[in-house]
Amino acid sequence: MNSFELILKILSTEEDLTAREIAKRANALGEKWVRKDANSNLYRMLSQGLVERVSTSKVPTWRIRKNEVRSKVVSSDEILSLPRKSTARSLRELVHEEAFSIALPKVRISFAYDPHSSANDPYIQGDWLSEMLFITVNVKHPFWETFIDSEEEKLLFLQFAAQDAYIQWQVAQRGNAVSYQEIISFRDSVLREIAHLRVERI
């Protein structure tokens, strides 16, 4: 069970828990979490629209977002029928959105920019629920702040972030040792699938 699954399991039985309370319940389920671990995951889930932050008290509490409706703005037929350069332009329009997703044949990858990240956090965090991958991009990472300026650079970064998250997901699905050649195969597969993607705003 990954972090997102664990938090959803906890919040499905008890609503309006603080990060400290969630960490305590995670520990009871075998994890070694402190409040910081719970908070890190919760804010990534918040940016992906999976949970709600309730701020009625001094210490915020959390619950599962009930209205998890993701409306598709760009249809797959429309995107796939466009010439390659037009597809790239359509993608570049989306990199300015707070959140969007790309649908590959086997999995959908949801992107969100994390305003709560710091320069010390990883460049991305990859999480998953069943056949849905969630990539939370750290826009305060030194590499992003130094090199990522243009739409083309953002698009290329997000495509390779998708590749990394896809590989993490594939390795986790295997549950055993993965060879170097298999990793190369995963990379090749996702790059080919991204070339024929469907794009959705969230």
138-154 pLDDT, tens digit per residue, is: 888 999 889 888 877 88
Q: What is the pLDDT, as a whole number, of residue 9?
A: 94
Q: CB-based contacts of 109: which residues, under 8 Å, 6+ apart?
A: 101, 102, 103, 132, 133, 134, 135, 162, 165, 166
Q: Where are the domains of the chain?
A: 3-64, 76-201
DSSP 141: S
Does 165 score more than 80 pLDDT?
A: yes
DSSP 65: -
For the sheet with 124-129, list strands across it: 124-129, 132-138, 108-114, 99-103, 198-201
For 19-56, write each residue's pLDDT tens digit: 999 999 999 999 999 999 999 999 999 988 899 999 87
Q: Do strands 99-103 and 198-201 pair parallel, antiparallel, or not at all (unpaired)?
A: antiparallel
Q: What is the pLDDT, as a whole number, of residue 23?
A: 97
* The CATH number of domain 3-64, selected from 3.40.50.300, 3.40.50.970, 1.10.150.20, 1.10.10.10: 1.10.10.10
Q: How many contiguous H segments (helices) and E segments (strands) does the chain have? A: 8, 7
Average pLDDT value over all residues in the chain: 78
Listed residue (111, 105, 129) closest to 189, CA to CA: 105
Only one residue has tokens 């959803």, namely 8
Average pLDDT over residues 173-177: 75
Burial 137-158 (b: 16+ CB within 10 A, else e): bbebbeebeeebeeeeebbebb
Only one residue has tokens 């959140």, namely 99
Does 158 score more than 90 pLDDT?
A: no
Does 17 score more than 90 pLDDT?
A: yes
